[in-house]
Chains A and B, each alone.
Chain A
């Protein structure tokens, strides 16, 4: 849970929480339980502001987004490992399915297609390949959250 106030959140706070959530998710998966991780930046009237936008962007990037280059590598490796000869067809199909569903109401349809959605988000919004990042899971990305995240782009 990330609160916004004078001097907070700090780097230590955001990264400590992110690390803890990552450990939690890994342990759950090891035990065959699907983890749900919430990017819980508290949203009240005071936070829907410039600082709210910046903190939300920062937390989401830290917790849920990965650089496109990493996403492409991960997708390629996964496709080679799992789909063999069908990898190109599979990746295209996943990307096509994700792209059409992006927008304000786009709750993540398929957690497993995460890396494909990352690529689709970049393409859809024309984000910079190296510095911008993508994607998320869960109710934390509400309509308001998405609007704040993309700001003037939408």
Chain B
């Protein structure tokens, strides 16, 4: 663990006058939102990528967004020129982050209660670390 880097990143995330953009909707959730405004997903990933890319290139984002929480799908996406989305966000002056849980599922023996599916995944520590390291390699901070 590189504590200095963690401290540096955490401080940048909570910089004065800036907030965090949670763009970590799952594929299912964002499809519902696109459906609600009449946007059809014609090709896999492309509309979601375009939408997320567009608002990330604005001046407001540069000045007021300290970090962007991405979804597992989006952190691995690339622009047409091959630039990873995480790098684009970094170039805009923000920190790319990632949501690593996999939604919710019923908690066994507790009717009506939920638990994040990612938590079970994280219980299998080796796989959890592997995935977190992969996220780091993809640019997540």
A7 at the interface (CB under 8 A from B): yes
Residues in A with CB closer than 8 Å to B19 are: 107
Residues in A with CB closer than 8 Å to B51 are: none
Task: Compute how far the CA of A13 lies from the CA of B141 in the bound complex, rounded to whole angstroms.
Answer: 29
Q: Which of B10, B107, B133, B140 contacts A112 (CB 8 A)?
A: B10
Do A23 and B5 have beta carbons less than 8 Å apart?
A: no
Do B11 and A112 have beta carbons less than 8 Å apart?
A: yes
Do B115 and A29 have beta carbons less than 8 Å apart?
A: no
B81 at the interface (CB under 8 A from A): no
Task: Compute how far the CA of A96 lies from the CA of B5 in the bound complex, rounded to whole angstroms.
Answer: 25
Do B110 and A29 have beta carbons less than 8 Å apart?
A: no
Do B9 and A34 have beta carbons less than 8 Å apart?
A: yes
The size class of the interface chain B forms with chain A is 35 or more
User: What is the number of residues of chain A that contact chain B, defined by CB distance less than 8 Å?
Assistant: 32
Do A13 and B110 have beta carbons less than 8 Å apart?
A: yes
Residues in B with CB closer than 8 Å to A154 are: none
Residues in A with CB closer than 8 Å to B133 are: 31
Q: Which of A7-33 contact B (CB under 8 A)?
A: 7-10, 12-13, 16-17, 20-21, 23-24, 27-33
Closest chain-B Cβ to A3's Cβ sits at a distance in Å of 7
- 9-residue interface stretch from B34-42, B57-65, B83-91, B122-130: B122-130
Q: Mark B1-39, 1 if CB is under 8 A from A, else 0.
A: 110011101110110100110100000000000000000
Q: List the interface of chain A (C-beta within 8 A of B).
A: 1-3, 5, 7-10, 12-13, 16-17, 20-21, 23-24, 27-34, 36, 107-112, 139
Q: List the interface of chain B (C-beta within 8 A of A).
A: 1-2, 5-7, 9-11, 13-14, 16, 19-20, 22, 69, 97-98, 100-101, 104, 107, 109-116, 118-120, 122-123, 125, 128-129, 132-133, 135-136, 140-141
The 7 closest A-B pairs by CB, nearest first: A20-B119, A31-B132, A13-B113, A111-B10, A34-B9, A8-B112, A27-B128
